Structure 1
Amino acid sequence: MSGNTFGTLFRLSTFGESHGAALGGTIEGCPSGIALTEADIQRELDLRKPGQGGIAATARKEPDAVRILSGVFEGKTTGTSIGFIIENTDQRSRDYGDIMEKWRPGHADFGFDQKYGFRDYRGGGRSSGRETVSRVVGGAVAMQLLATQGISIHAYTVELGGIKAPSITPAGAQQRPYFASDDAVVDAWNERVLAVKKDGDTLGGIVQIEALGVPAGLGEPVFDKLDALLAHALMSVGSVKGVEIGQGFETARMLGSENNDGMDAQGFTSNNCGGSLGGISNGMPVIARAAIKPIPSIAKEQQTVTRSGEPCTMQVKGRHDICAIPRVVPVLKSMVALVLADLLLQQSKQFFSPVSGVVEPRGFDE
């Protein structure tokens, strides 16, 4: 098992390295007849491409132009495998010559050497954040499928560099710097980024993802709980070190009477569970948060060792973001889309009409 495929019925398989010729993949299981063009995918890719992070962004410039190779005809999916490719055009592999024999603190260098006995040291190879470009393509296709069922996914930043947004106002977040959840916090985040950048360091943050219109009934009750699959999907992104569903860790500080979501004739009266009970969606918005670690490539001198075990110091060269936010935001949105698209197809095999594919949650009076 190489770990390059995600999903059961709706499956994304990816390939490519950050300094190779291209990245790409295949998407299997997408039903036929879904409206899809390269422009639909490009809209999402443009949200994560290098240079889109404002003052926190890398200087690397990549157009990240997607080319669909198969599975789409006359603007609609054919039901067969969707193949795609994104060429790398602005690599500077010479920046990484110094780390050929050194292990970078905070990176996957040591683990790759132990696993394979060999590694692509140019920007981290397969472990580079650049591999997420293929996830965004898969997520864009998944979102086209979900849209046919009235499901939409939104993501925004609620904390950066230890500074929390004072409120969450998702409307307009996609147009704000950092995909900020509140206009009022942007200036403070800019100041924090500039100060940390001047010091040669990096920042982390917290991103919230919200899926609206998710019907009740998605997810399996034991090992494949909706919560578990979301955690798997989000934690598979290299910069993510923690995931919460709903109130998450805050529930450990609550009483049962505070945490339980009450119900009335119209449905649930609160959403502390984040749209999932018993691992199955309950018709409320699905809400998850991901903790993003600081970018490990920093300009400060760090202590490490060579592959032969000799102590040494190093400074990471190259072009790097100060923070994975905002470019990681569309990646996280895509991973949630992949989970929901897969579960929607699985549920259609169990309960929903295979003809229309329309998801109709049961009401309380049925």
Structure 2
Amino acid sequence: MSTFGQFLRVTTYGESHCPSVGCIVDNFPPGVPVSEEMLQPQITRRRPGQSSITTPRNEADLVSIQSGVEGGLTLGTPIAMTVKNQDQRPGDYKGSTMKQYPRPSHADFTYLEKYGVRASSGGGRSSARETIGRVAAGALCEHYLKLAHGIEIVAWVSSVGNIHHIPPTPEYPATSHNPKFLDLISTVTRETVDKTVVRCPDPEVAAKMEQCIADFRDRQDSIGGTVTCVIRNVPTGLGEPVFDKLEASLAHAMLSIPATKGFEVGSGFEGTEIPGSSHNDMFIRNPVTEVDSRTGFAKPKLTTATNNSGGIQGGITNGAPIFFRVAFKPPATIGLPQQTVTFEGETDGVLENKGRHDPCVVPRAVPIVEAMASICILDALLMQGGRKMAARAL
């Protein structure tokens, strides 16, 4: 399906080499000041051609609002946004071998099996080009979350290959216990993240990551990595048990991003290696309990001394920062010759990809992760807001 969300509905459209890509956002709140200039920075952060370690495809990726906004304010009606594909090269994919052979670890074969037809160039809907619509919608949602509720969402590259920003240590086997990590999720900003082309907030580690990606690029190969994201100032009570717990919605959102292969929230997989006595988040009195004048939300009377839960307990937010990590596999398109077989299964062959590609997707995945997080949180917030409004009417 090409639509995500329960109340807030985001539908994306477009293929890698068609005339345009974009989205329609339905049930977005009315009266919100919005402009293309407000949304463009996030789309620019996702665009190709940013540095020597990203694909050389040169797209301006300028967003155009088509409907749902008038006089600089949202109308409450569907908001359509589009971005033109200007540097499309479908000819890169139309050589005889590209037509005959499925590319290893791409969706060429599975799309053909599902639909009986497939896009002839660039992976079609399975291309990361589809994520432009997500980022446009996410930028819109994030703008509202910040304006109306003071919610902040920041993602960064936490590993490339075996190079980790803050790895587990014998003293802190769960990163969620590490004071350096806890300080990071409280203070990290996009400005700090964007100071390096690899989007890691530690310049020394970022330099190692950048060199690692460059080495794989020069070998016509690729490498994977992880992106960590924190969501701050989230009110309590968001999430819809039991099947739409907030972490389940976030997992759905993140694992729908191209090239993702793993998701964990809070202590994640590392938390399985420590005892419950160390993992449990003990409740304490919240020293700050006043009502936020901007949002009308009262701070909860309780908070937790630690945050191994990653801000979510029982599928519902507890007011602590939400943090999670997403794993991205090495890009499937590489320049090295690869053994494959024709779609008919009749002839073995060697495929050498000629299309442009990223040697590592994680630097450009950062704004995509932020976008999907924004969509998830606004969807949950609108659902909880409806519940509270219904209760107040009694």
Q: TM-score range by the shorter chain?
A: over 0.9
Q: CA deviation at 1:231?
A: 0.2
Q: Which amino acid aligns with 1:255?
A: P
The answer for the alignment partner of 1:358 in structure 2 is none
- 1:155-185 deviations in Å (ceiling 9; x for gaps): 0011012101146542411332211031111
- 1:277-336 deviations in Å (ceiling 9; x for gaps): 000000000111000111100011111111111211101111111111211110011001
Contact kept, 8 Å, 2:16 with 2:127, in 1: the verdict is yes
The answer for the alignment partner of 1:363 in structure 2 is none
Separation of aligned partners in 2, 1:118 and 1:17: 14
The answer for the alignment partner of 1:153 in structure 2 is 153
The answer for the alignment partner of 2:367 in structure 1 is 330
Residue 292 in structure 1 maps to residue 290 in structure 2: no
- 1:110-165 deviations in Å (ceiling 9; x for gaps): 10010011101200111101000000001011101211111110000110121011
SS at match of 2:139: helix
The answer for the alignment partner of 1:85 in structure 2 is 82
SS at match of 2:198: helix
The answer for the alignment partner of 1:306 in structure 2 is 342
The answer for the alignment partner of 1:129 in structure 2 is 128
SS at match of 1:55: coil
Residue 63 in structure 1 maps to residue 60 in structure 2: yes
Separation of aligned partners in 2, 1:184 and 1:332: 24
The answer for the alignment partner of 2:307 in structure 1 is 271
Separation of aligned partners in 2, 1:207 and 1:102: 32
Change (3 A) 1:38 1:305: same
Separation of aligned partners in 2, 1:253 and 1:6: 34
Separation of aligned partners in 2, 1:157 and 1:39: 26
Q: 1:215 aligns with which of 235, 239, 256?
A: 235
Change (3 A) 1:354 1:322: farther
Contact kept, 8 Å, 1:23 with 1:86, in 2: the verdict is yes
Q: 2:8 aligns with which of 7, 10, 14?
A: 10
Change (3 A) 1:49 1:300: same
The answer for the alignment partner of 1:362 in structure 2 is none
Separation of aligned partners in 2, 1:139 and 1:72: 16
SS at match of 1:351: helix
The answer for the alignment partner of 1:359 in structure 2 is none
Contact kept, 8 Å, 1:303 with 1:311, in 2: the verdict is yes
Separation of aligned partners in 1, 2:246 and 2:325: 14
Residue 178 in structure 1 maps to residue 198 in structure 2: yes
Separation of aligned partners in 1, 2:354 and 2:279: 47
The answer for the alignment partner of 1:317 in structure 2 is 354
Q: CA deviation at 1:190?
A: 2.2
The answer for the alignment partner of 2:293 in structure 1 is none
Q: 1:75 aligns with which of 67, 72, 82?
A: 72
Q: Which amino acid aligns with 2:317?
A: S
Q: CA deviation at 1:9?
A: 1.2
Separation of aligned partners in 2, 1:181 and 1:248: 21
Separation of aligned partners in 1, 2:368 and 2:353: 25
Contact kept, 8 Å, 2:157 with 2:226, in 1: the verdict is yes
The answer for the alignment partner of 1:341 in structure 2 is 378
Q: What is the RMSD of the two structures over their aligned residues, measured on CA atoms?
A: 1.4
SS at match of 1:243: strand
The answer for the alignment partner of 2:263 in structure 1 is 243
Contact kept, 8 Å, 2:195 with 2:201, in 1: the verdict is no
Q: Which amino acid aligns with 1:306?
A: T
- 1:234-266 deviations in Å (ceiling 9; x for gaps): 000011100000010011101111111011112
**Greater shift in the superposed pair: 56-65 or 176-185:** 176-185
- 1:71-116 deviations in Å (ceiling 9; x for gaps): 1112111111101111100011111013112100010011001001
Q: 1:95 aligns with which of 92, 104, 129?
A: 92
Separation of aligned partners in 2, 1:74 and 1:110: 47
Change (3 A) 1:203 1:352: farther
Q: Which amino acid aligns with 2:75?
A: T
Q: CA deviation at 1:353?
A: 8.4
